Structure 1
Amino acid sequence: MLCDCGKVQVHIMNMQRSGGRINVHCQSKDDDLGFHVVEYGDEYSWSFGANIWGSTLFYCDVQMINGDLTWYHFDAYDGIRDFFRCWWHCRWMIFQNTQYLFGYDEGTGGKINIRCQSKDDDLGYHIVKDGDVYSWSFGANIWGSTLFYCDVQMIIDDITW
């Protein structure tokens, strides 16, 4: 393969504790990457050139292959959000019963400070070191409107971004 210079790489890793498989379907406005079955411990990845306006968006739907027919949706790469968050190498780790997660694996030796909360729950501040993952589980409300949001600070060489 020739140089992948300037390309963004996105990895989606299956880290379910039960060892089950996941279905993954990712796409952008212009590219449908199709459906992929990812075994436990494996990953699905792709690379692409982000546009100069920062508006590149790839989103994915993930389904646990364990009888649960629910598809979970997340933005795997958002040019505005991810340019400084993961630069050219973004990694997502999918855990069982965890619809929302943030995985950090950049190899910089840095840390991130995460504070996640919903209308009813404040999960507090958590320091996540390079290669570690912070995740949580929760029961969604009956209306399907449960929403968690997270504030994330990147800390590299004691400099906070």
Structure 2
Amino acid sequence: MAAGGGSIAVAMAAMLICVASGKITVQITNLIRYDKVMVIDCRSSEDDLGQHTLLYGQSMEWRFKPNFSKTTLYYCNAMWEADVRLKIHFHAYEYMRDNYGCGSDCRWLFTVNGVYAYNSKHDSWDFRFPWYV
């Protein structure tokens, strides 16, 4: 082994251990209206998180380790009743989008206007998409 080759191997191993041990938290909060419940069902190809009914101000969250191939994807279907049934299908966590976007703390906020995602770089809530009928 050439001089310095051992230190490169150690640095790469340390980086892999850091990536492999990192856990992600996804949190989804209902702030639609005080008198409205939101029903949400989230899953990945490996985990079915089940259906949850969130009252105003309630959250659901889960923790996981992204897979080594960087293809981790959690998607959700959410709905609530207004004069009509409003619903949305969205990716709650997508490795290629969120690894550098939200890092290890991915938060979603559901409001009467639509869905917001927390931007940790700018400490702000960014509008992502509206509800659809």
TM-score under structure 1 length normalisation: 0.61
Work out the CA distance in 2 between the residues paired with 1:57 and 1:70.
23
Q: What corresponds to 1:115 in structure 2? A: none
Matches within 5 A, 1:67-146: 68-98=84-114, 101-104=115-118, 106=120, 110-111=121-122, 130=123, 132-135=124-127
Q: What corresponds to 1:49 in structure 2? A: 65
Q: Structure 2: any 5+ residue segments left out of the alignment? A: 1-20
Alignment root-mean-square deviation, CA:
2.5
TM-aligned CA distance change 1:29 to 1:94, over 3 Å: same
Shift of 1:105: 5.3
Shift of 1:103: 2.0
TM-aligned CA distance change 1:32 to 1:135, over 3 Å: same
TM-aligned CA distance change 1:32 to 1:67, over 3 Å: farther
Shift of 1:49: 1.0
Bigger Cα Rg:
2
More helix by share: 2
Q: Conserved in 1, the CA contact under 8 Å of 2:87 and 2:131?
A: no
Q: Of 39, 45, 48, which residue of structure 1 is paired with 2:55?
A: 39
Any runs of at least 4 consecutive aligned residues in structure 1 with deviations exceeding 6 A, and if so which? 136-140
Matches within 5 A, 1:140-159: none
